Amino acid sequence: MAGGRNNTTVAKFILLGFSDFPKLKIALFTVFLGTYLLTVAWNLSLIILIKMDSSLHTPMYFFLSNLSFIDLCYVTSTTPKMLSGFFQKTKFISFVGCAIQYFFFSSLGLTECCLLAAMAYDRYAAICNPLLYTNIMSPTLCEQMVVAAYITGIFGSSIQLCALLQLDFCGPNIINHFFCDLPQLLVLSCSETFFLHVIKFVIAVIFGLTSVIIIMISYGYIVATILKISSLEGRSKAFNTCASHLTAVTFYFGSGLFVYMHSSTDSSLGYDKMASVFYTVVIPMLNPLIYCLRNQEIKDALTRCKKKRIFSHCHS
């Protein structure tokens, strides 16, 4: 313990991680390491594929490549530290390191909320206004929407970080989690946390519920348009372009809102930890699969990429 800024007496925290399951340490490490490596490989491969194949240079895949980049950074902000903790007797993280980790994790999470809403609007424009789609979703607008998502995500996280830095932490310093998250830090503070609880709730409403409302409105129009399509094949094709996004949205917002919309107590932190595993580790791995498994354009792009490699190898 040492003195610090803002009367903070806790210089470092102890992350419990998954120490509740000592007999499963090796198994959990193997699972999380494999999940992390798959997440990095799949998201990085998708980014490269979209970059290399000109047929994928469309608004939908522009947003998808940014989603993969966010997921890549998102999982990297927490998982490496968590993995290293499996083989440390005491899993320390400095107060500054904790604040930095939370800032990056929160910024990326809020940015993903905005990006998923932008992707819903893109699907609305593609299905409800197909003739005007190219004009509506211009490259400039797409870039502006992505930049706005990053800026608002960083801004929202900065507000929470500034409020967090005003709190005092006098002990205990044990975080019952595998990374530094706001609900767990609020429980440990010896300051009055009501204001920050309000900020947490407001940020969750602004970014979470607002994004969900935008997505629901977009899909309301999409469903109404799909029902007007006479051919079964046309309906199926239109639905398939939206099913992947809806699946990703349901997983991400369902687990995220569970953690941030309810009041955290010591008894609820174990449930928060399990929900956090889902949206911080599992979802970033699943997103490339969700968007690619039933996507014929991605499969065609992979085929073309393989043919180019074979041709290049034979030519050389």
Residue 233's domain comprises 13-315
Rounded CA separation 39/159 (Å): 29
Residue 299 lies in a domain: yes
Residue 133 lies in a domain: yes
Tally of CB atoms within 10 A around 209: 14
Position 230 confidence tier, pLDDT thresholds 50, 70, 90: confident
Phi/psi zone of residue 263: left (φ > 0), alpha (ψ -120 to 50 degrees), beta?
beta
More confident residue, 260 or 214: 214
Report the number of distinct structural domains present in the chain: 1
pLDDT at 5 (0 to 100):
44
More confident residue, 8 or 259: 259
As a whole number, the mean pLDDT across the chain is 86
Position 261 confidence tier, pLDDT thresholds 50, 70, 90: low
Answer whether 152's CB lies under 8 Å from 115's CB: no
Residue 46 lies in a domain: yes
Over its C-alpha atoms, the chain yields an Rg (Å, rounded) of 22
- Mean per-residue pLDDT, 15-43: 92
Residue 4 lies in a domain: no
Residue 7 lies in a domain: no
Residue 8 lies in a domain: no
Residue 194 lies in a domain: yes
**CA neighbor of 295 nearest in space, from 64, 37, 51:** 64
pLDDT at 8 (0 to 100):
46
Rounded CA separation 133/124 (Å): 9
pLDDT at 189 over 70: yes
CATH value at residue 65: 1.20.1070.10
Residue 18, SS3 per DSSP: coil
Residue 152, SS3 per DSSP: helix
Residue 283 lies in a domain: yes
Q: How far apart are the first and last CA of the chain?
A: 63
Q: Side-chain half-sphere of 57: how many Cα atoms within 13 Å?
A: 6
Amino acid sitting at position 239? F
pLDDT at 75 over 90: yes
Side by side, the strands of the sheet bearing 92-94 are 92-94, 12-15, 174-175
pLDDT digits (tens, 9 = 90+) for 16-28: 888 888 888 899 9
Tally of CB atoms within 10 A around 235: 14
